[in-house]
Structure 1
Amino acid sequence: MTNAYDDLMAFQRETGALGQIAGRLGWDQETMMPRGAAPQRAEEMAAMEHVLHARRTDPRLGDWLAAINDKTLDQVGQANLRHIRKSYLRNTAIPAKLASELARKTSMAQGIWAEARSKDDFASFAPTLEEIVSLKREEAAALSKGNLYDALLDDYEPDATGDQIAAMFNAMEPRLIALRDKVLGKPEPKSVTGTFDEAKQMKLTRQLAKTFGYDMSRGRVDKAVHPFSSGSGMDVRITTRTSEIDPFNCFYSTIHEVGHACYEQNINDDYLFTPLGSGVSMGVHESQSRIYENQIGRGRAFTSWLFGEMKEAFGDFGIANEDEFYATVNKVHKGYIRTEADEIQYNLHVLLRFGLEKDLMEGKLDVADLEEAWNTRFEQAFGYKVDKASNGVLQDVHWSVGLFGYFPTYSLGNLYAGCLNVAMRGALPDLDTDLAKGDTTAATAWLQENVQQHGGLYKPTDLIAKATGAEPSEAPLMDYLEAKFGEIYDL
């Protein structure tokens, strides 16, 4: 005879498996699906969402939750119950019709966004975005009688609030701007020259994925317009993109997505299909992609190894030695694109988006005025004008798929990565010796042990505090940036 907890978890594992199938539909849509299939895929995604929503709001969940005595469960059981109870309360607050309509509309919107982006025509996307914003505000109102933005943020960074995040971002901003201004006053490092064969890029990028511990027997690397990671457990896939004149776009997009993917691959296998079987928050998830990409991948030690690999793959590309290469990889430069921004300016891009989407959800900004607001705030923050919509309001896919509340987690991830880097290097004083040989094993093993294996077991800030021995703070990240770029640019 089974008990309520066993019944609950059996039901949850089936729901988790169906969720993975839905995720695979999304992966296929971005990588291999024929363009003409978009309307049919929208219906398929909506149907799957209807099934999932029905399971996530099944009255039996409420009965099982009411029947379970939390005190009889171990730590894992209590954590599972915490996640399921919260999810159930949130999902039962959202009408099934609204959930289905959101799935249908955001699936269709991806293609409309991509077409508008290719033509630099925000006006052609604006009506669709206006519908999505309206639906997301309706969803937020159903979830909370309080702040609409906080209700959506909670999906990505549990227990965080927009005001808390704004306070941390505001504390970072003066130091970021001061450092950027000093750096941009110095001579710019060299750029790579020549063209870089796409096939050779993809060969090296797969090597990099393996170098950072990505298990290719349970994953694959494909191309997409916007790189992403998809899946968990035994099937975790990543995408990247190539540019014949900028190989770093490919290599560091790959390392970034591998950080996400390794988090999912390295979660305790016992948690598969349960609420603990995926990353605990997007901020923590981003901490893994960022520490892989920046503190490890763009560090002096690892870039000395990567320089040799690139010389072997591409021959002479205009960089004389390892020191020049380190400066090139970490070059601070003007630009419009968040995903191509240097470490100093990246968070300023996030601040821009965070402010805009918060205003959209709180009714302080209309979609019709979004492009003008973006362009105005960009010029204020960066000192030059946006030249076209694909470099501005249309550059990111997030709003087209309804991810409001997602953007600030990128900078939270940077903050967490700064904290984790200090703790990791304290535990591994000889780490750079290994990284200079292209050996990331010690670093990735430390992250697996202290962060990744736990999945959703701990709350986000508790996990970071447990791994580092201190509460999360922006100070380690800012200290790291000032030291690193102060050395590169001789400040």
Structure 2
Amino acid sequence: MSAYDDLIAYQHDTQALAEVMGRLGWDQETVMPRGAADQRSEEMAAMESVLHARRTDPRVGEWLQQAEAKDDVAKANLRLIRRHYDRAVKVPADLAKALAKATSRAQGIWAEARAAEDVDAFLPTLTEILRLRREEAAAIAGDADPYDALLQDYEPGTTGAEIEALFSRMRPRLVELRGKILSSGYDPEPLAGHFPETTQLLFTHEIAKTFGYDFAHGRIDKAVHPFSSGSGHDVRITTRVDESEPLGCLYSTIHEVGHGCYEQHIEDAYLLSVLGQGVSMGVHESQSRSYENQMGRSRAFTGWLFDKMRDTYGDLNLADADAFHAAVNRVRSGYIRTEADEVHYNLHILLRFDLERALIKGDLEVADLEAAWNDRFHADFGVAVDKPSNGMLQDVHWSVGLFGYFPTYTLGNVYAGCLFKTLREDLPEVDAQMAAGDLSGATGWMAENLQRHGGLHEPREIVERASRAPVSEGPLLDYLDAKFGAIYGL
């Protein structure tokens, strides 16, 4: 066997073990007994020790030096394995193990603190996680920006400065659109009523299949914070249920289906390799956000969905499909990011990006985070935070150490704007299809032009290949202006 063949065989087993560790994480957030949290943290730490040892094995470095790439797939494999190896060898094994243990334990502590509205119960844990992540960032970055070092885990090739510039360009048009909507004098009637949990879960199961999610290789479970997990032939998603607000469950599910379909549609030839998962979280979010918004909240699809909702729940309080479309896209200054309308959503991300960047840099400490969050939220949204679960405790990300993840949501929105503009050009019949409840044209275009490639191309490259244009915030902002201008008569 060649050095390349030896490297790929070794990497195959490493990826398989990583999938097992991911399954432990899924179990922890869905069905694990609460009393097992401490034991699970030890199990996760042990798994991370094994994985870190494999990722930093000197043989990997030797194989990388000797391996020859004979085609584009081999070149991509070597590029990604080298990137992961160069990062892993900079992180001490004890630190990697400590992070795995701390973030595993933190999930339960965060969930209990959130349920009890008790920030103080979570602060010591968050302080420890931040300390560990700062240490990791310093080890990776050297003399470079530590936040950028963490960002590479989620969006390789992107810097905090680039994201800051993107947000600066987007913010004026978002704020202007928000102002026009809120001063329009029109406030759509929200969907109201009682929607039983069992019925909601059955309904979202059906809608997931409508969007092409493969239940032979996946499943839906409940979690405090919806997420997706896995790749290849085992891709699982979660949702949450509020019996007075079915749209939260419905659109959380569609969002996670977007993630899940990306993973399910990657070429089988890349299974259990570094190419066998989504290339970045920004590209991943382009799929979940386009499924949720450009497809799921479109006037075409919501017209079909309105009839399905009435078939499922009986008469609704909304008069017709136009009223339902307006309710689905109702703009308001809500607290919760995952339930935010498309106009406010990126303002939620900008808040988190600025705060976590300050935390990693040392300009903000955990003890001051709640006050900083509440002040910034009031300034940006004009509403005072009423309780921690609507404020700094609402998201799971920081509790599991995902510093650098949040900006990829807005990158995903920008990518989705680019992709869907081209999709519409290629499929002029897409609205007619979605109005009939047929998502196969739109989802098939995404699968063919982006999803199947997995990690073969770099993040920005795959978006530009699929959209046949440079990445720009323009298509997203134009889409938002047109959509909400029509709903609110602007």
TM-score normalised by L of structure 2:
0.99
Distance 2:186 2:66 in 1: 67
Structure 1 residue 80 corresponds to structure 2 residue 77: yes
Question: How many residue pairs align between the two structures?
Answer: 488
Instruction: Say whether 1:125 aligns with 2:122.
Output: yes
1:122, CA displacement in angstroms? 1.1
Residue 171 (structure 2) pairs with residue 173 (structure 1): yes
Q: How do 1:286-305 and structure 2 match up within 5 A?
A: 286-305=285-304
Q: How does 1:90-489 map to 2 (within 5 A)?
A: 90-145=87-142, 146-185=144-183, 186-489=185-488
- Which one-letter code corresponds to 2:397 in the other structure? H
Q: Distance in 2 between matches of 1:419 and 1:180?
A: 22
Q: Distance in 1 between matches of 2:191 and 2:328?
A: 9
CA distance in 1, matches of 2:132, 2:241: 35
**Structure 2 gap ranges (5+):** none
Question: Quick one: which amino acid aligns to residue 166 of structure 2?
Answer: M
* CA distance in 2 between partners of 1:323 and 1:409 (Å): 32
| Aligned mates of 2:226, 2:369 — CA distance in 1 | 25
Structure 1 stretch 189-198 or stretch 35-44: which is displaced more?
A: 189-198
How far is the alpha carbon of 1:206 from its aligned partner? 0.4
Measured after TM superposition, the shift of residue 181 of structure 1 is 1.2
Percent of aligned pairs sharing the same letter: 61
Q: Which amino acid aligns with 2:217?
A: R
SS in 1 for 2:229: strand
Tell me, what secondary structure is at the counterpart of 2:472? coil
Q: Runs ≥4 in structure 1, deviation > 2 angstroms? A: none
Task: Classify the secondary structure of the residue corresponding to 1:93.
Answer: coil
Deviations 1:374-401 (A, max 9, x none): 1111111111211111110111000000
Counterpart position of 1:57: 56
CA distance in 2, matches of 1:251, 1:337: 16
Secondary structure of 1:395's partner? coil
- Measured after TM superposition, the shift of residue 317 of structure 1 is 1.7
* Cα offsets for 1:297-331 (capped at 9, x unmatched): 00000000100100000011201111111111100
- 1:115-172 deviation digits (Å, cap 9, x = unpaired): 1111111111111111111100100111012101000001100010000001001111
Query: 3-state SS of the aligned residue for 1:279?
Result: coil
Give secondary structure in 1 for the equivalent of 2:125: helix
SS at match of 1:222: strand
Q: After alignment, is 267-276 or 179-188 more displaced?
A: 179-188
Cα distance in 2 for residues equivalent to 1:465 and 1:434: 25
Deviating more after overlay: 189-198 vs 209-218 = 189-198
Shift of 1:68: 1.4
| Secondary structure, aligned partner of 1:213 | coil
Deviation of the 1:18 alpha carbon: 0.4
Shift of 1:284: 0.1
Tell me which amino acid in the other structure corresponds to 1:357. E
Letter in 1 for 2:90: A
- Using the TM superposition, give the Cα deviation of residue 197 of structure 1 relative to its aligned residue in structure 2, in angstroms: 1.2
Distance 2:465 2:315 in 1: 46
Code of the residue aligned with 1:171 in structure 2: it is R
Deviation at 1:193, TM superposition (A): 2.1
- Please give the alpha-carbon distance, in whole angstroms, between the structure 2 residues aligned to 1:47 and 1:184: 52
Could you tell me how far apart the structure 2 residues matched to 1:447 and 1:93 are? Answer: 36
Letter in 1 for 2:186: P
- One-letter code aligned to 1:189: P
- Tell me which residue corresponds to 1:15: 14
Contact kept? 2:146, 2:360, Cα under 8 Å = yes
- CA distance in 1: counterparts of 2:419 and 2:442, whole angstroms: 11
Unaligned segments of structure 1, at least 5 residues = none
Amino acid at match of 2:310: K
Structure-2 separation of matches of 1:334 and 1:307: 25
| DSSP-derived class of the 1:396 partner | coil
> What CA distance in whole angstroms lies between the structure 1 residues aligned with 2:441 and 2:429?
10
**Distance across 1 between alignment mates of 2:193 and 2:67:** 64
CA distance in 1, matches of 2:12, 2:272: 5
Q: Deviations over 1:22-68 (max 9, x none)?
A: 00000000110000000000000000011000100011101101111
Q: Distance in 2 between matches of 1:82 and 1:156?
A: 16
Specify the code of the residue in structure 2 equivalent to 1:155: D
C-alpha RMSD of matched pairs (Å): 0.7
Question: Contact (CA 8 Å) 2:333, 2:383: kept in 1 or not?
Answer: no
